[in-house]
Structure 1
């Protein structure tokens, strides 16, 4: 074949695979944006918006969801990262790095002539097998006093001992049963405030102040009403107000509302939490009666306050109920106080479910956000560890699983084996990136770890990022939640398969523009 024929053939191949090459480059670019943060020696990323506001962070999901991305493949990775964060709360950087490696390796196989279908077939088999091996490697945490729980919090909390201690204390306070509930997220209990003292507050914090300074700032033994609505009279349509009957009805509703407020005062209600606004007349009457009112409370805080105090949330129409029936909707709080410096109301010793709030202090406003992100990562990791057990961290597990997948490759028929190679490549990537970020040669160190795991028959061996020596991660207390690792690999596999399946990229027509043009033509 002449040089001209070779060039023409190469051009035809690249043209045929243009979509895959474009998408792979986008995935690699996204992975490059976060891979430098991986591991104990990972560095921070500075995100700057068009107004000059800056976020400095080491958190993968924050980088991914904040960075500007226009390529559709890049947006796919970001959406999967969001899903990973919502599902297990951590591991987004690992997911992205493995996805980049898997897609890149897949492209190399395709360029060498391996059919895409065979690559995908092998990739699926490799990921499925690797996930099973990971599950087998997990060690269950049956006791919340297990010291390994703090080790998980410390690794996810980037070595911040104060945050690790707070998260573990909160987990023990909440209890194993609550941590295992699908709807419960320990990370939601984290609140970071400038100038606050680190503590696990046994109660609920409302991120609002009382309605006015004339209301009491401190209550004890308070009956609590939670209004999942506006504390205002029922509304009438404007057309109705234009009639005599409508205006009479309006006056009746105003008087009925005042009677309902008086009823609450007579029942001894001392704290009222409201989802929306509060009418002026209600504010005045409740202030005179020494009742603390907080309006426009966030829905999640309103629910937590109701659960903690034992209150049942009620709509404004429910205030018409007789005192005896209405009393069943009230909760109780042993103590309530308004912290004017932090602009928050703290509720403790509720009559309902025990609650915990992880209060993380920060020296300056600039570091509040990052301290909160670190604490949320640690909390998510702790909960994931309780749910699915722990595995060796530092890339050790992935190398051990990669060795098993390489063995399994021999049982795979035909060209699908090349797809299995993509999974092996992805599994080796986290350790390679961790040691590269620590300043060592990744090729050399990955080889050292593979050899050491085989020679010593230990799957927990990886690299000490301070010395560069091979070290036992279990003995060093470098542990990760198994669920995070499993979800990261599955998500990376899903991204890789989705990208490899795309054969053509076609720009959609702008339906809104066409619709507008049709309206103009009709005019």
Structure 2
């Protein structure tokens, strides 16, 4: 063998080493979550160094909490988080798909297929599969469509009480609001120990009034939101030591008291403040029968403003004339203080419709998991309303895989091997669901593909309770098409990024102050 051949073989081995190293890291992440996939998926226990335990079936929670050092593995976790941020569901599917795409891609490269050809075929296969997903989707007829209830139940891991809450909340908010790009139904979900399951038109402020003498129940309430401290403007100690500074201090104190009197004269009944409240303001407002809450989170203030029609104001804005201040007020039908749950509910606001889904939990340990389940269900319902439904249980992926496989005949060159990666990845969710249910995935894969072809159906898969080939529409195993589309798109993007890496180099640490820094 010539010296040139030896050198070329060494370069190939080095590139394969980087690919295989990254593929193994991706595989490790995939194996951590694939056991949770499907109705028979099991839970994962996460334990930290202090012995605190989290038990969950939620893929994104596992990925976010697990300790990861490998850079390729971190890339996959970031992709799963992006899936969660965009859709709110399907992170496990995205992870499993990405793991399969990377593994199959490395396999093809190991056989001698150029990486560029694998990526070319992979991108084409993902694009065609996404188009086929959309073509197979069925739209939701209305928010009373029974299929929507099935979606909530499947995404809610068969928790009927949670699914019913989510559907009620969706109907309360309305289809138009659910289709807004920036609105997330999952943000309306709150889980709390000892709370009763309920949905109501309103928002929750997780605070109590500043003192016990303030009212606990109000009707037809005017609300003022102060996005600031309800305190006089501060002056430094040095300035106070001068005559002019002290005079300015006396003036600001008097102006502050006048501003508080204006609030009282406007017949405001609730004042929500972003920061602290001066003692004199608390006393004056309390004596006037006004409910005052300090240090309310910015997120909660925004929700209250949206629901009541209020406009947040800074403390300097309180100098405005009463007629101008009145335009900043919001209104809601009821305000109720719940001492037991340590929260305040603002109901029936005059602004935009806002729903709150309160999910009860028997113990503190299950609060987090109940909330995660409800958020997944809410995200799935909203995604279904936006773009429609496809059969679940891996059925639609197998149908699309068959159609993508047929496109291989039209492809020329080695990019067809990249297409094979997509076909193989699309079969992976079905195989994992069936395996988690205790059946032989190879045997069931053959049964389902044969049945789909014989019946010209894209909705046949395995009933995980009895192992029989069943129509997923009939048994209510349904998924939003957006979950499928974004999971495959995200998986394709991370697989392409991983496959492009042929060398791993450790970065040098920047040492500030060194001579010659930045002179490369």
Per the shorter chain, which TM-score range? over 0.9
Q: Does 1:351 align with 2:350?
A: yes
State the 1:311 CA deviation.
1.1
SS at match of 1:36: helix
Q: TM-score, normalised by structure 1?
A: 0.95
- Structure 2: distance between partners of 1:281 and 1:224: 20
The aligned runs of 1:103-118 (5 Å cut-off) are 103-118=102-117
- Structure 2: distance between partners of 1:129 and 1:200: 41
SS at match of 2:14: helix
Structure 1: where are the runs of 5+ without partners? none
- Structure 2: distance between partners of 1:486 and 1:229: 43
The aligned runs of 1:396-411 (5 Å cut-off) are 396-411=395-410
2:411 aligned partner: 412
1:450 aligned partner: 449
Cα distance change on mapping 1:238 and 1:115 into 2, 3 Å: farther
The aligned runs of 1:47-126 (5 Å cut-off) are 47-126=46-125
Q: Does 1:325 align with 2:324?
A: yes
State the 1:241 CA deviation.
3.3
Conserved? CA contact 2:398–2:427, under 8 Å: yes
SS at match of 1:329: coil
- Structure 1: distance between partners of 2:106 and 2:19: 7
1:389 aligned partner: 388
SS at match of 2:36: coil
Give per-residue Cα distances to partners, 1:123-148, cap 9 Å, x unaligned. 00000000000010011113111111
SS at match of 1:233: coil
Conserved? CA contact 2:14–2:502, under 8 Å: no
- Structure 1: distance between partners of 2:40 and 2:211: 48
Give per-residue Cα distances to partners, 1:155-175, cap 9 Å, x unaligned. 000001111111011001100
2:223 aligned partner: 224
Q: TM-score, normalised by structure 2?
A: 0.96
SS at match of 2:98: helix
Conserved? CA contact 2:14–2:503, under 8 Å: no
Q: CA RMSD in A?
A: 1.9
- Structure 1: distance between partners of 2:257 and 2:266: 14
1:496 aligned partner: 495
2:264 aligned partner: 265
Structure 2: where are the runs of 5+ without partners? none
- Structure 2: distance between partners of 1:213 and 1:138: 55
State the 1:106 CA deviation.
0.3
1:21 aligned partner: 20
Q: How many residues align?
A: 515
State the 1:88 CA deviation.
0.6
2:163 aligned partner: 164
The aligned runs of 1:115-194 (5 Å cut-off) are 115-194=114-193
SS at match of 1:508: coil
Conserved? CA contact 2:46–2:55, under 8 Å: yes
State the 1:246 CA deviation.
2.1
Conserved? CA contact 2:460–2:471, under 8 Å: yes
The aligned runs of 1:453-492 (5 Å cut-off) are 453-492=452-491
Give per-residue Cα distances to partners, 1:338-374, cap 9 Å, x unaligned. 1111111011122222221001111111111000000
1:198 aligned partner: 197
